[in-house]
Amino acid sequence: MKLDKNITYKSYGNQAILIEWEAVIHKEILNDILEFKYKIEQQKEIKFSDLIVGYNSLTIKLNQPFKDLEIEKKVLKSIYSSKIRVAQKDHFIWEIPVCYDLEFGIDLKEVATKKRLTIDEVIQLHSEKTYTVFFIGFLPGFLYLGGLKERLFFDRKPNPRLKVEKGSVAIGGQQTGVYPVDSPGGWNIIGKTPIPFFNVDEENPCFAKSGDLIKFKPISLDEYLKIKNKIEQNCYQISKTLAQ
């Protein structure tokens, strides 16, 4: 993909600036966003309280209201085009165990039937892919993942459930994800992980960040229960390897 450099800058209220790239989900765009984010973090011209990554956007929350958007744009464009040496940040591949047992995968049969696949084929297609974490949103710890295979694209439910259990692994449209807490939701549930995706007691409540990778590993119901027990006893570490 040839990256569209026609980046736009818009005011988002009087204390935030929304920077937008081409409206597509693509890892090359994510990499450009992250490089810009790291450049902003290393400079002193822009005083900010937060930098929020989206699929094709970066929102800068400023410490104080700005007076002239054009002045802010000029500074940001200069930072973007600068030759600042960006400190390389480590990204990890997180291995997430998922139990696709029908006890948890309550929509798995429907997905398989409508896609003319066997349940095992759905599980294989879903778990053999490595997914990119684009950003975190919707709920604390909800990872927006890119990379779902086209054969598994599946429309969201017309009537969302009032409660989807924490840890549910689901497919919605062209995406897959994990519900970090009990919440309403309209995605199709195909499994469940015992891994907590959001923990307020941790220094970093969500273990993953934009640019990291997620790999789902199929496990049995018995393995699920064993891992869940270890997590409850604080003696389980999520498997991770350094992404190249």
Q: What are the structure tokens assigned to 108, written together?
A: 């798995």
Cα–Cα distance, 111 to 195 (Å, whole number): 24
Cα–Cα distance, 11 to 169 (Å, whole number): 36
Cα–Cα distance, 55 to 184 (Å, whole number): 23
DSSP code for 24: S
Cα–Cα distance, 190 to 124 (Å, whole number): 12
How deeply is 150 buried, as exposed, middle or buried, from its count of CB atoms within 10 A (0-12, 13-18, 19+)?
exposed
Over its length of 244 residues, how does the chain's per-residue pLDDT go in tens digits? 555 568 999 999 889 999 999 988 889 999 999 999 999 998 888 889 999 999 899 999 999 999 899 999 999 999 999 987 776 678 999 999 999 999 999 999 999 999 999 999 999 999 999 999 999 987 888 999 999 999 999 999 999 999 999 999 999 999 999 999 999 999 999 999 999 998 887 878 899 999 999 999 999 999 999 999 999 999 999 999 999 7
The confidence score (pLDDT) of residue 4 equals: 56
| Domain architecture of the chain: domains with CATH | 8-81 (3.30.1360.40), 92-242 (2.40.100.10)
**pTM, whole model, 2 decimals?**
0.86
Please state whether beta strands 213-219 and 92-99 pair in parallel, antiparallel, or not at all (unpaired): parallel
Task: For the beta carbon of residue 86, count every other beta carbon within 10 angstroms.
Answer: 15
